[in-house]
Amino acid sequence: MGTFIQLVVDGLSTGSIYAALALAIVLVNQATGLINFAQGGMAVLSAYIAYSFVRLGLPVLLGILAAVVVSFFIGAVVERFLIRRFERGDPDTAIVVTIGLLTLLTGVCAWIWSYDNRPFPSLFPLTSVDMFGVVVSVRSVGTTLAIIAIMVVLQLLFFGTKLGLALRAVAVNPASAAFSGLPVGRLLMVGWGLAAALGAIAGSLVAPQLSLTPGMLDTPLVYALAAVILGGLSSPIGAVVAAWAIGVLESLVAVYVPFIGHDLKIAVPFILIFVILVVRPQGLFGRKVVVRV
């Protein structure tokens, strides 16, 4: 029983990494209607910016906050001068652009900071506590609580504020939003800026656990996309719950299903995606789109 509980705790810790990235993907989708495959690269770039501020002498918290501000402007600039040129066209083209942006950002990070592993300081103590025979990392607990706080803030933003309502209106139908007097271009810039700022927080929370490298979030991005599809593109809560479920499931399967083990556990989220898309295409927490004619 102790082993089972330990695996669940470890899975929740790993799932929090996926959840951090999944929340940023949900934010971009709710604000622009796009799935941003470059979100992992933007989060890594933001983490490197925070790392640079810390190296210059800022405390870790202030370094992360400074990176959040810088990342907001980077996200807004990327939307204004790159993404906007493709937002009115074929959605598939915009998705390809975000994949190209991911490759570009990875190359830029490698060019500036190299591919060497760099230790990123943690916001939380690097200690562990023993609770009823289960070893729990204080850093993992802190990261999980931070993810929960971000999830609540996003849920309140989208479903409890005028800004969130305006962002969702622009994402669903930019033309109708413009006729209603909403500043569509400015809202899209704000949406990308907020997503980049959230990416800075996610990257800074994850970097101490994974070690900072240009490709740090390549694999977690796959799991995050799976969590977004499972949880529903319109639901921050769904994305986090799905990310935790994936983390726990792959942790349990790797140990209790011998023919899968650690080598094939990456197949777990894809099997879940297939099953969910067949049974419930809008995701576990997503809303079914109804078109009036």
Convert the pLDDT of each residue in 138-173 to its tens digit: 887 888 888 888 878 887 887 888 888 888 787 777
Written in H, E and C, the secondary structure of 224-251 is HHHHHHHHCCCCHHHHHHHHHHHHHHHH
Among 122-131, 138-147, 273-282, name the one with the lowest average pLDDT.
273-282
| Separation between Cα atoms, residue 231 and residue 101, nearest integer Å | 25
User: Sorting pLDDT into bands at 50, 70 and 90, what band is 261?
Assistant: low
User: Sorting pLDDT into bands at 50, 70 and 90, what band is 202?
Assistant: confident
- The amino acid present at 257, given as its one-letter code, is V
Between the two ends of the chain, the Cα-to-Cα distance in Å is: 55
**pLDDT above 90: percentage of residues in the chain:** 13
Which residues are within 8 A (CB) of 193 and not within 5 positions of it... i.e. 6 or more apart?
A: 71, 72, 73, 75, 76, 79
- The amino acid present at 101, given as its one-letter code, is L
